[in-house]
Amino acid sequence: MVIQQDLEALDLSNIACKPSIVCYIFSVVPVLGWIVSNEIDRRRVAEGTQALCTQLLTRESDASQAWSESTVEPVARVVCKCIATVFGWPTSAFIPADPMEAVLFNSDCQLTDLLELLEETLKIEKWWLVDHYQDHLTDGTLLDFVSWVASCANCKRKDLAE
């Protein structure tokens, strides 16, 4: 399977993905330290989110050509739209090489919401994706995640079970 690579993957190199040591130090100081720590972390997340949004918006409004040679293209379109909806990204212009760490940046507990929406949209048995999600997928690329969802959609569809 050959995938078009004209677009560059989301770049996390200039984004602080984890709280700084200063944030940790303030977090152990009761009350005032907690407030300062939360504010530092809120700003870190806001700056990172803005940087990723800027990268996404520089892509064409629809990056579907990056998926055109992939066997999972139909599922990829659905997954990308669901990701943009659940995580509030300004566009669904994700490409196969995007790291999941960037796609899920500041997602908190919304991964479960994404998996539930995918189950509903792709007619996969309820809770199947949630129960069988493999943590290593978070460390891979969007292509890894989409391929996993596609394989689940092929074998765990509600309409096939009925």
pLDDT tens-digit series, residues 26-55: 778 888 888 888 887 777 777 877 888 888
Angstrom distance (rounded) from CA 79 to CA 18: 26
Q: Give the pLDDT band (50/70/90) at residue 5.
A: very low
Q: What is the pLDDT of residues 57-93, one digit of tens each?
A: 877 655 777 888 778 889 999 999 999 999 888 888 8
**C-alpha count within 13 angstroms, C-beta hemisphere, residue 34:** 2
**127 Cβ partners below 8 Å, 6+ apart?**
119
Percent above pLDDT 90 for the chain: 23
**162 Cβ partners below 8 Å, 6+ apart?**
none
Q: What is the pLDDT of residue 158?
A: 54
Kindly state the DSSP code that residue 106 receives in the 8-state scheme. Answer: T
16: alpha, beta or left, given left = phi > 0 and alpha = psi -120 to 50?
Answer: beta
Domain boundaries, the chain: 64-161
Q: What is the pLDDT of residue 61?
A: 56
Q: Which helix (H) or strand (E) holds 92?
A: none
The better pLDDT of the pair 95, 27 is held by 95
Burial (CB < 10 A; 0-12, 13-18, 19+), residue 33, is middle
**Is residue 143's pLDDT more than 90?**
yes
